[in-house]
Structure 1
C-alpha cells in the first residue's frame, strides 16, 4: 500500500484482550490512520467504539444454510454424505472467507466417523451484511454441527439410540492413522473411549427425566463427538536472552491475546534451563525487537511455540557452554549444565547463568539462543461432550442443568490454563446455540446493533462444567505430544446443545430446530406440533 520497505514500519501491539479470529483481518481504519499520519506529519489515533464500529462493521461468523442428504444401512452405518452449503460472504470478500466455507470447514465433515463417500458443494453468496469470516473454530463448528445433527437424525429415523449409531460409525483406535474421505489423516485418539467416559458421567438421567416430568418440565440429554483439525502453519521463531543478573527473557512472535503465553512459554524455558519460572519474562508485539513471527490463530501457538522455546533455551545452554569453558579455561566437552549452573565435570568450579552472561558481555557479546520450529503435520484435538437441559413447555425457556466435557488434547502443559480455554470456548458455543443472532431489516439496517438487542451468555446463563482432560493419546507430530486446544469448546458445544433440546422435545414430536434455539423458537416449535 505505501510502497516503502517493510522494515520502515514499527508495529507495537499491547494487551488487546480476546481475538477469536475477528482481529486477524485487515480493517480499513488501520491503513487509513497511517495515511493520515503521513499526510499530516503528526500522530493520528483512531479508537473503535462498540456501537458505531464493532456491531455494524466488525466481521461476522458462522452464517450458513446447509442441506444434507445421508445414506445409511438398516443398522445405521453411514454409507454416504452429501452437503450443499450456501455460505454468506457479506457485501465483499474478506481475507479468508472463501477458504473458511470450503476447504477449512468442509475437510471436517467426516467428524470422527468412517464415512466412505462425502460430497460437498459450496455456494458463496454476496449479501448486504458485513463480511463473514473466521471466528473461533473457523469452519469446524459448522462442519461438526452438520455431522453431529446428522448422526442424531439417523438415530431418530431408525429408532436406535444415538450413542449406538455413533459407536457403529466411529473410526476405531486400531485404524489410526486414518485418512478420511475428505483427505485429512487423523493420527491418534480413541473416540469410542471418550464417549464411554462421557456416557458414564451422565448416569441416572432417566430418573432425573421422570422427576422433571412430574413438575411439568421436559428434560433432554444430548451428546456430541468432535474433532478439530489444527494446521502447523508457518511455524514459530523464539529467542531467549540471559541478562547479567541471570534472568531470562523470551522474544517470540506468537502474540498472546488472553491464552496465557507468558505463563506456558516461561514454563517451557524454565524447565529446559532448570530455573524458577518467576525469573523468565516474555516480550511480544514489537517488530523492532521481534523481526519474525506468525501470530496467534488456529489453536497452533503452543504446538510451534513450546518446541521453539525449548530449542532456544537449549541453544542458550550450548552457547553458554562455550563462554563458560573459555572463562574457566576448560574444554567445552568438560562442561556440564544442570539447574542454571555450568560446572567443570568432577570439580566444584561453577558459574551461574548470570556469571556466564557477564563473561559474554565482557567480550561485547550476549548470552542468548534462537530456534525455529514447525510441526511436522496437523494435530487433531477431539472429545465427547454431553449436556442436560430442562425446558418449560409453557414458555420455551431452556435451563442448562449440567455440561460434561471429555477432551483429548494430547500432552497437557498447564491444566489450569487449559480448563480456562475449554470453558471460554464452551461459553461462546452456548451463546451461538441459544442466543446470538445478527438481524438485518429489509433495507439492510442492522437491528441487533447493541447488547440491548444482541444477547450474549452471562455467568448465570451457564451451567456447571465438568471437564475431564485425557492424556492417553499424545500427538506424534510434535515433540511435546500437544494437540491444539483453543477452539475445541466452541466446536463441540453447538451440536450438543441442540441435540439435548431435541431430545427433550422428542416426546412432543418436534424433530428440528435451528440455532439460536431461543425460548421463542422453542415455544413456536412446540405450538406447531400440538
Structure 2
C-alpha cells in the first residue's frame, strides 16, 4: 500500500515545526496568568537555621509565597514508586526515604526547592525571591556513591543508616561461584557509567488553573494520565478532579515521566489563589533540579573455559540515587535493567548484586534506556577484556559466545525470552559494512598522520514495550476525517506520521484524513504513556483493535445504505476503505457508512506486559589527536533487528538520535559535583559538553527484519536502541586507540583534556 507499513514516509509534523507553528506549554497563555518562581538551596547539605519570607510577601506584584510551613500536611511527599523487596538473607530492601516538596529543616542538594513565589510577572517573582532571608548552617557532604557507603560518611537520612538505600541482587550466587572456581581463565574490569543531564530541548513546564472544582493542567509530559495519577497521590485527591492536557513536547527521554516537586506546588498555589499559574524552568534550573541519568559504578567479572566460551558472569554495582528517590530511581539499576546483564550471550549462570546509595546530588532516574545502556556497556566492557585476554579477534569472540537463531526461543537467567533473533547475521553485516578486516591498514595510515586509530564491535539487546495498559479511541466523522486519541504520546518520535500509516493499513483511508489529537487525560482511561520504547508496540495493537471496532460498528450503517444484510457485505481496504456487497460493484465508503449513524467511534484496549527484544551490532571507528586529545568518529556501522518495520525513515532517525545521545555520554557529557561542597561544577552548557552535528560521519545502517511473535505486527521497539549500542561501541573504540598508545585503563567521558591526560601519563 502506498502509505502503509514499510513505507519511508517523511514526518508530516515537521512542516509545522519548521514553520514555527509547534505549540508547547510556554506558548499557551492568557491575560491574567500569574508566574511562579522557586527559591532553591545554594548549599549541598545544610540545616535551615531560619527562613524569613515576610519582605517577599510584601513585594510589588507578589500574590503568594509558600514554604514548608504553609504546605505541611497538604501534600503527600515524593516517594519511591518501585519498592524493592528483599531477595534473600542478608540483603536490604529499599528504605522509606521521602522528599518534601519544599525543604523541611534540612536541604540535601544544591537546587532543592525551599520556597515558591507567585507574582503577576516573572520579574516580580524573581525580585521577591531576592528579599527572602535564608540562613543555612552548612553540613559535611558526600557526592560519590562508594564514598557515601563508607563508615563515617556524612549521613543524609535517619531512615537510611549508612546512606544505604537497598542491597539487591538476582542470579544464582552459588552456581556462579562454582563456575568461577572451575574456569580456565577469569577476567575482571571496572566500568564507569558517568552521570549525565537530560537536557531536553524544551525544559519542564506547567500551566495550572483551578476553576473552583477542578484543576486544568497544561504540562510537557510523557503521559497525561501518568502526571494526573502522580499529582492525585501528592495532592491527596481523586484523579477525576484533575485534567491534564499535553500539547507538543520538546523531548522527554524518561525525565518527563517522573514526579518533580514543582507541579504539585503550582497546583496548590492555583487553588489557593483561584487563578492560573505558569512556570517554565530555565536552563540553570534544569541542571539543578531535573532528574538526572546513569551514575553507576560496577566491578564486572567473567569466567571462561579454555576455548573462550563463557561459563559465568558476576557483577557488583553501586548506584548513585542522589539525595532522594526519584519516581523509579530505585528500579533503574535493579529490576529494570539487571535482567539484561550478560547481554545476548549464552551465559549459563550469572549473579548481579546492586547497592543503592544516597548522596548530596540531584536525584537520578530513567534516561533513554533506563538502565539497559548501562548494563550492555558493562557486559561489552567485560567481553572486550576477555577477548583480549584470549588474544582473539574481538568480533569473532563475540560471535563465539552469542546465542544462535537455532536456540530461539531462548530464556536468559533474567527471564527475558528471545523469541526471534539472529545475532551472527547482524555481526557479519555490521563488520562487513565497517570493513573490519581492513582496519589495521587504516590504523597504520592514521599513525603516519600522527593520529591514533581505534575500533570496536559490540552487541546489544534491549527490552522494550509491554505493559501497563494502553488504549486508543478512533472517531470516524461524517465530514470525512478520523481523529485518533492514543495514550502513548509523542515527545518527538513521529507519532503523527506513523499512527496514520497503521490506520491506513487497517482501514485503507487516506492518511491525510487522519488527525492525531494532543494528550488529554479526559479522553481515555487505561493508558501507559510514552517510555521504554513501548509506543509502537502498544499503540499498533490498540489502533488495530480500534479499527476493527470501527468497521464492525459502521457495518450497520453500510447495511442500511446498501439495503443488504451484514453477512452479505465485506469491507475492502484496497478500495480506499469501502463496504461492498459481495460479488457486486455496489459500495459505500467508510465515511458514508459512519455518516448514516451520525459518526462512529472505535475503542481498542490491551493490558499485558509482553516484551520485545530488539538487538544488533554497532561498529565504531575513531581517531585521536595526541597533541590535543580531540576524538573524531571516522566510521560508524550498524546492523539492527527491530522486527517488522513500519517506517524505515523514522526508525533510522530514532537510531541516529539515540546514537548521538550515547556518544554524548562517552565523549563529553558528565555532571560533576565538587566533593567538598557538592556544588555542581558543570551546571551550564559552557561546562557541560553536548554533542554536535559536526561530531558525526555518515552512518552505515542496515535493517534485518526478523519479526517477533509477541505482537500482531511483529514489531520491536527502536527508540532507545541507538544509545544502548553507541555507549559501549564508542567507549571501547576510544579505549582501543588509547591501549595502542600504552594506556591500560581509561574511563569515560573521553573529553579532550582527559584523553590528553591519559596519553601524557602513559
Partner SS state of residue 612, structure 2:
coil
Partner SS state of residue 267, structure 2:
helix
Cα deviation for residue 376 of structure 1 reads 6.4
Cα deviation for residue 126 of structure 1 reads 0.5
Report the counterpart of residue 214 of structure 2 in structure 1.
none
Match of 2:626 among 393, 401, 408: 393
Task: Return closer, same or farther for 1:397/1:244 CA change in 2, 3 Å cut-off.
Answer: same
Distance 2:460 2:600 in 1: 45
Match of 1:354 among 591, 599, 604: 591
Asked if structure 2 preserves the Cα contact closer than 8 Å seen for 1:137 and 1:490, the reply is: yes
| Per-residue Cα deviation, 1:107-153 (whole angstroms, up to 9, x for no partner) | 11110101112111111010010101110001111100011011111
Report the counterpart of residue 662 of structure 2 in structure 1.
429
Report the counterpart of residue 204 of structure 2 in structure 1.
none
Structure 1, gaps ≥5 residues long: none
Report the counterpart of residue 113 of structure 1 in structure 2.
345
Distance 1:235 1:289 in 2: 15
Match of 1:448 among 679, 682, 691: 682
Report the counterpart of residue 465 of structure 1 in structure 2.
699
| 1:176 is aligned to 2:176 | no
Partner SS state of residue 124, structure 1:
strand
| Per-residue Cα deviation, 1:254-308 (whole angstroms, up to 9, x for no partner) | 1111111111111111121111111111113112233332110000111010121
Report the counterpart of residue 359 of structure 2 in structure 1.
127
Match of 1:368 among 584, 590, 601: 601
The 5 Å alignment of 1:190-205 reads 190-203=422-435, 204-205=438-439
| 1:274 is aligned to 2:508 | yes
Partner SS state of residue 498, structure 1:
helix
Distance 1:231 1:270 in 2: 23
Report the counterpart of residue 417 of structure 2 in structure 1.
185
Partner SS state of residue 220, structure 1:
strand
Distance 1:331 1:281 in 2: 32
| Per-residue Cα deviation, 1:480-523 (whole angstroms, up to 9, x for no partner) | 00001000001011111111112222222223211101122222
Asked if structure 2 preserves the Cα contact closer than 8 Å seen for 1:232 and 1:378, the reply is: yes
Match of 2:302 among 54, 67, 70: 70
| Per-residue Cα deviation, 1:379-409 (whole angstroms, up to 9, x for no partner) | 0000000011011122222111011111100
The 5 Å alignment of 1:255-274 reads 255-274=489-508
Distance 1:43 1:299 in 2: 34
| Per-residue Cα deviation, 1:317-352 (whole angstroms, up to 9, x for no partner) | 111111211233321111122222222223443222
Structure 2, gaps ≥5 residues long: 1-233
Distance 2:409 2:661 in 1: 31
Report the counterpart of residue 217 of structure 1 in structure 2.
451
Cα deviation for residue 8 of structure 1 reads 2.0
| Per-residue Cα deviation, 1:149-190 (whole angstroms, up to 9, x for no partner) | 111111122221211221221111111111112232211111
| 1:10 is aligned to 2:243 | yes
Partner SS state of residue 390, structure 1:
strand
The 5 Å alignment of 1:207-356 reads 207-338=441-572, 339-356=576-593
Report the counterpart of residue 153 of structure 1 in structure 2.
385
Distance 2:337 2:728 in 1: 15
Moved more, 222-231 or 501-510: 501-510
**Structure 1 residue ranges (4+ consecutive) displaced by more than 6 angstroms after TM superposition:** none
Distance 1:374 1:194 in 2: 32
Distance 1:290 1:116 in 2: 44
Distance 1:341 1:505 in 2: 64
Moved more, 278-287 or 334-343: 334-343
Cα deviation for residue 375 of structure 1 reads 5.9
Match of 1:418 among 651, 654, 657: 651
Partner SS state of residue 456, structure 1:
coil
| 1:510 is aligned to 2:747 | no
| Per-residue Cα deviation, 1:218-262 (whole angstroms, up to 9, x for no partner) | 111111100001140123211111111222111111111111111
Distance 2:351 2:247 in 1: 44
Distance 1:266 1:183 in 2: 34
Report the counterpart of residue 486 of structure 1 in structure 2.
719
Distance 2:538 2:483 in 1: 18
Asked if structure 2 preserves the Cα contact closer than 8 Å seen for 1:110 and 1:182, the reply is: no
Partner SS state of residue 10, structure 1:
strand
Partner SS state of residue 12, structure 1:
strand
Distance 1:404 1:373 in 2: 37
Moved more, 54-63 or 279-288: 279-288
Partner SS state of residue 107, structure 1:
helix
Distance 1:274 1:507 in 2: 58
Task: Return closer, same or farther for 1:69/1:86 CA change in 2, 3 Å cut-off.
Answer: same
Asked if structure 2 preserves the Cα contact closer than 8 Å seen for 1:235 and 1:294, the reply is: yes
| Per-residue Cα deviation, 1:61-108 (whole angstroms, up to 9, x for no partner) | 110111122211232222121111010000001111111111212111
| Per-residue Cα deviation, 1:187-219 (whole angstroms, up to 9, x for no partner) | 111111111111111222222212111111111
Distance 1:344 1:167 in 2: 56
Moved more, 334-343 or 94-103: 334-343
Distance 2:681 2:692 in 1: 21
Partner SS state of residue 405, structure 1:
strand
Moved more, 426-435 or 223-232: 223-232
CA RMSD of aligned residues (A): 1.4
Distance 1:196 1:48 in 2: 47
The 5 Å alignment of 1:2-151 reads 2-51=235-284, 53-151=285-383
Partner SS state of residue 250, structure 1:
strand
Asked if structure 1 preserves the Cα contact closer than 8 Å seen for 2:488 and 2:539, the reply is: yes
Partner SS state of residue 604, structure 2:
strand
